[in-house]
Amino acid sequence: MKKKTRILFIATFPPPVHGSAVVSLQIKNSRLINEVFDGDYLNLGTSRNMDEIGKGGLILNLRKIVRFVGAYIKLLILLLCHHYDLCYCAITINGVGFLKDAPFVLLCHIFRKKIVIHQHNKGMARFVNRPIYHLLYKLVYKNAKVILLSDYLYDDISSIVSKRDIMICPNGINPTLDVNIDRINNKNDVPHILFLSNLIESKGCLILLDACQILKNKGVSFICDFVGGDTKEISTERFKEEIAIRGLKGYCAYHGRKYGQDKKQFWEKADIFAFPTFYYNETFGLVNLEAMDYSLPVISTNEGGIPDVVKDKETGFIIPTKNAIALADAIELLMNSPKLRMSMGEKGRELFLRKFTEEKFESTMLDCLEKCINTI
């Protein structure tokens, strides 16, 4: 029996649960990929829950250092004890996160392994002109292939990585099998807007509140539901204060984190999904795919690869970042046209099922991995 090709997957895995960790877990659990390859998995993450991400403190920093050293020693042992045909590295490419992750890729280089870097984030362009980063980027990406989520993300790394070394693999999620079609096709008399993300200003939650204030002042009736975890940046108390300051009690409500059926209920009762992100590290917006799965028109921004997902004026609207007026105008247009909402939602779900399912992602990722092994 022919021996399977062996890959070492170096990535961040849950917990905590966030976009890149979810995608890494999809790869780890993929029946298709596991049928073709034997995989070993090394967790790069040094945070064990969302509250530890970006946080400091002596005790927490010591724990993170111990986790880092432990992971690096484990990588050394794996490389010494096993032959790998490819090292897959899903690393942070900006700031301190890159400085933390770069040694793992460099160790793979020392062992002369074929390397593919899967980028779930961006921001190289902000750091590439700093001498230490420029040197490390050159070393880390030397002779490596790179998987991007979208062609739109190439400009960020173009000064370091050649176009010929790029492959594109959009993210994907599983379609919801038990969507309440009757509920989706019979929406609310008063339109419901949904925002689903953690309360981070750069994700656009306050911009959406500003847009809601504009709509309320114009006499428009609506309900806007905010679902997601509060953060150190925006606590539950502060967000409720922001609602009150704008006079939006009765119009906007914050519901906290929701999972499973509780989260599903918000998707099914929504008429419009708004995600006005201006997060510098935004690459794809998996939450937009969830909205498309539920046949919702999506209003989002031009950040990262989002224009690949949300087709402007076809499946929703792409609006300028930090522009509450443009967001309010797009929401109002959809509120006033149920047929447009339904048409955009249907086209969005068709696009999702054609290009952005987990099955499609796994198939494309398999092709990318095989290409890396055969061409590097």
Q: What is the pLDDT of residue 33?
A: 96
What mean pLDDT comes out for the span 162-173?
96
Which is it for the CA torsion 176, 286, 99, 46, positive or negative?
negative
Q: CA 101 → CA 14, 54, 140, 278, 319, distances in Å? A: 17, 15, 10, 25, 34
Handedness of CA 29, 9, 70, 76 (dihedral sign): positive
Q: Which of 47-51, 86-90, 357-361 has the lowest mean pLDDT?
A: 47-51
Question: Out of 120-134, 175-189, 192-206, 327-341, which region has the weakest mean confidence (pLDDT)?
Answer: 175-189
DSSP 35-50: HHEEEEEEE----SSG
Residues in the chain: 376
List the end-to-end C-alpha distance of the chain, in Å, as a whole number.
25
Reported as a single tens digit per residue, the pLDDT across 189-203 is 899 999 999 999 999
pLDDT tens digits for 24-75?
999 999 999 999 999 999 999 877 665 656 556 677 678 889 999 999 999 9
Instruction: Read off the pLDDT of residues 209-267 as tens digits, 9 standing for 90 and up.
Output: 999 999 999 999 999 999 999 998 999 999 999 999 999 999 999 999 999 999 999 99
CB atoms within 10 A of CB 188: 11
Residue 178 has pLDDT above 90, yes or no: no
The model carries a pTM of 0.89
* pLDDT at 176 (0 to 100): 87
CA dist 61 and 246 (Å) reads: 39
- Per-residue confidence (pLDDT) for residue 247, from 0 to 100: 98
pLDDT at 319 over 80: yes
Architecture per CATH, domain 181-355, reads as 3-Layer(aba) Sandwich (3.40)
**Residue 145 near residue 116 (C-beta atoms within 8 A):** yes
Q: What is each CA distance from 347 to 77, 80, 174, 353, in whole angstroms?
A: 50, 51, 18, 10
Does residue 3 surpass a pLDDT of 80?
no
DSSP string of 166-180, one letter each residue: EEE----BPPPTT--
Domains 5-172+357-375 and 181-355 share a fold: yes
What local confidence, expressed as pLDDT, does residue 187 receive? 67
> What is the percent of the chain with per-residue pLDDT over 70, rounded to a whole number?
93
Q: What CATH code would you report for 5-172+357-375?
A: 3.40.50.2000
- Dist. CA 210–CA 213, nearest whole Å: 5
State mean pLDDT over 163-173.
96
Cβ neighbours of residue 224 closer than 8 Å, sequence gap 6 or more: 192, 193, 194, 195, 208, 212, 248, 251, 252, 253, 274
The confidence band for 331, taking pLDDT boundaries of 50, 70 and 90, is: very high
* pLDDT value at residue 63: 87
Q: Give me 138's structure tokens.
A: 């050159």
pLDDT one-digit tens code per residue, 236-246: 999 999 999 99
Q: Residue 249: what pLDDT?
A: 97
Phi, psi of 331 (to 5 degrees): -60, -45
Q: Where are the domains of the chain?
A: 5-172+357-375, 181-355
Alpha helices (runs of H) in the chain, residue ranges in sequence order: 19-29, 31-36, 58-81, 95-110, 124-127, 131-141, 181-185, 205-217, 236-245, 260-269, 286-293, 306-309, 324-335, 338-355, 358-375
